[in-house]
Amino acid sequence: MLIEKFCDENLNEEYKEMSLKLCEKLNKMNPSPLLKGRSKSLACGIVHAIGFVNFLFDSTTKML
């Protein structure tokens, strides 16, 4: 899966778990927003959203 690979290579286990949990929640929605769009774009959006709410892009945050 794209999310797992990206998080393994660039982030950590915690980001991977949060991203996969969000992916699961989106998949359970009716209709699932994951049915539309490209998988790379969706994976990027999920990881970006998790990073954003956890201050990953904040200049005062230490990099992983």
Q: Which two tokens stand for residue 56?
A: 């990953």
Cα 19 to chain centroid, rounded: 4
Instruction: State how far the Cα of 19 lies from the Cα of 27, in Å rounded to an integer.
Output: 12
Find the helix or strand (DSSP H, E) in which 47 lies.
helix 39-53
pLDDT (tens digit per residue) in 5-22: 999 999 999 999 999 999
The per-residue pLDDT for 3 is 96
The residues near 48 (Cβ < 8 Å, ≥ 6 apart) are: none
The per-residue pLDDT for 64 is 63
pLDDT (tens digit per residue) in 40-50: 999 999 999 99
